[in-house]
Structure 1
């Protein structure tokens, strides 16, 4: 095993895997809903849960229900200068979030742990999905997509199509790629404003654009309701405010929060996602 590579608790079963990252107990809760949704979609691919020292065994144990591979992953071996530049207070001060609320536990350096996926050469392809997301329809077809594939960061306007969102992406693990990433990531004076998203967009300038419905961000619900189509959504991503937390937008996002809770518990799962009410109908009810 390559030095620093994620250490999994058992051998792989498939040559393809979905992967997510858990850095604390809250994201472990999110991973439970995500893993259930992947299995509910009918996928038999491996599910790898990368986890850091910020989450304990008790929070991870419920994930065994879904046959996951738990893989301990450490922070990247970045320099003190890099770590200082990307500390929470500094990065949020230079690039404040004005559109929504990031959770208090958000730690920018954790985001770069995603890059360790490129060390997992036991897989031909890995589809990464953030733990604050749900798979609403089978997306195994993404294992046929090239590296690097990702959906655009659309949640406010069509102008967002020029930026990728790293909540869902397709990777081809290779140690050479990982080494090149580390060299580029921690170059002198490097500062990645949107952490892993900024870095991945620069590292893969010719990134392949996935359909927006492969990573539909929850703000589309109230910012661009005409774009919302339950029949087309493959992955629903709860960016900014999290469905497991109390927050100011809970009333506006109520139907999406209810759906997440159904996947968390396995109770009251909708028989037909396409039949769910859209934003306009929900607004009339509220």
Structure 2
């Protein structure tokens, strides 16, 4: 009866996972991202620009982020060209998608040499960020708003084109941020920057941030930008209000914005690369990640990732079905030998069993497309870890509840982090810590139970055939 109850329990969990997965998948498919956002060729005097280059492990993720930002600006009906400064090694199919599907103007450029790559503590992911200087070479425009692809636009910001020759936001008290800045293109300034780059102007970080910050050292002393009501353009340099570059880390402290100056228009994510908002694990780990994905769902959609998601889901369902049907045969992978090598075999089997359980929770994480919607990504992760755990459960005849205790723990952690009623980020972090503290004893008990079950299984002589024992002669069989 106990085995039958476990079988029913497993079937119900599989059914629940399948229903949850396809519900999330249908939500993503029904997104508004099926249509294009191609803008008609209107002769604008201003431009929103961003850059793309190759050579990092995250090139595709930044390509997707760039397309989402371009489409979100088009959806806001900005009165400006959308320009992508792309290095010559960017794949042609990406360039065509940006031009034909997203309505962007792609400017192909040669990568600028970075003379700071050999200085101490240089981060190699910033090697080609000097390409951002090409924004000053867009002399066909009066003003250019230069952007990083990790910006999330909340509303139209065309008033920025009224700013002067250079304007930026100080999200750090002493250093302005180059994730968004306004510039007046100038061939003279561009050539002078190239000269300063060639002679190796002092640059603390070796990236565009340090170089541009050193090129405009007195911006902190400049007046705050306030757009003139008559629409005229200002001269000189200005500081932009903080609302044009709201650092996402501020939000995580209070779970709300409290910026006293300027409009709350643009959120930026100047964090570690693996914490960018387009990764599926960004929510509910980082609450604002869902905002970026909602913007993608309403613009670009998730059609590129759906074939891989469907293939993985079918694969996981097939693993669960096949391991359940092959349970008696899988258990025969364990062997017993009644000599001194039996202890070695025991240790080896335990090692394989524990690593198979650990792999069940690690492998699915790396197989899921990085830029899929969080609801779909986490559902696929839970489905994959459940399926791979079933291999260990059926192969080593382990108790299902003990093996799946981490699975329930991860699912509970996601629910705790996703709760919307926390007063601030500190309370949210304490709640997650308290939940983890309460789960630790259950994880320890489940580990102990798994090890005990393995010992009992390996000791059952009737269950395990003797490895190395030769079968009795055929003649003896006839005698008996």
TM over 0.5: yes
Deviating more after overlay: 33-42 vs 238-247: 238-247
1:235-246 correspondence runs (5 A):
235-240=266-271, 241-245=275-279
Match of 1:193 among 197, 200, 205: 205
Cα separation, 2, equivalents of 1:129 and 1:47:
11
What's the RMSD between the two structures over aligned residues? Answer: 3.1
Q: Mark the CA change 1:224 to 1:146 in structure 2 (over 3 Å): closer, same or farther.
A: farther
Structure 2 residue 296 is the aligned partner of structure 1 residue 264 = yes
1:94-109 correspondence runs (5 A):
107-109=125-127
Match of 2:111 among 63, 71, 75: 75
Q: Deviations over 1:139-195 (max 9, x none)?
A: 100001012100112xxxxxx222100000001111110111122223247444161
Is the 8 Å Cα contact of residues 228 and 278 (structure 1) preserved in structure 2?
no
Runs of 4+ residues deviating >4 angstroms = 224-229, 281-286
Counterpart residue number, 1:124: 142
Q: Mark the CA change 1:62 to 1:281 in structure 2 (over 3 Å): closer, same or farther.
A: farther
Counterpart residue number, 2:265: 234
Is the 8 Å Cα contact of residues 76 and 113 (structure 1) preserved in structure 2?
yes
Counterpart residue number, 1:33: 68
Instruction: Name the one with the larger helix percent.
Output: 2
- Secondary structure of the 2:127 match is helix
Structure 2 residue 173 is the aligned partner of structure 1 residue 141 = no
Q: Mark the CA change 1:83 to 1:76 in structure 2 (over 3 Å): closer, same or farther.
A: same
Counterpart residue number, 1:85: 118
Instruction: Name the one with the larger strand percent.
Output: 1
Cα separation, 1, equivalents of 2:110 and 2:295:
29
Structure 2 residue 245 is the aligned partner of structure 1 residue 212 = no
How far did 1:236 drift? 1.1
For the pair shown, the structure with the greater C-alpha radius of gyration is 2
Cα separation, 1, equivalents of 2:86 and 2:207:
18
Q: Deviations over 1:213-255 (max 9, x none)?
A: 10112111214656446x94211112222122356x643413x
Counterpart residue number, 1:57: 92
TM-score (norm 2): 0.45
> What are structure 1's unaligned runs of at least 5 residues?
1-10, 93-105, 154-159, 270-276
- Secondary structure of the 1:55 match is coil
Structure 2 residue 179 is the aligned partner of structure 1 residue 167 = yes
Aligned length: 242
Q: Deviations over 1:200-224 (max 9, x none)?
A: 1221123221111101121112146
Cα separation, 1, equivalents of 2:156 and 2:126:
30
Is the 8 Å Cα contact of residues 29 and 264 (structure 1) preserved in structure 2?
no
Cα separation, 1, equivalents of 2:422 and 2:106:
37
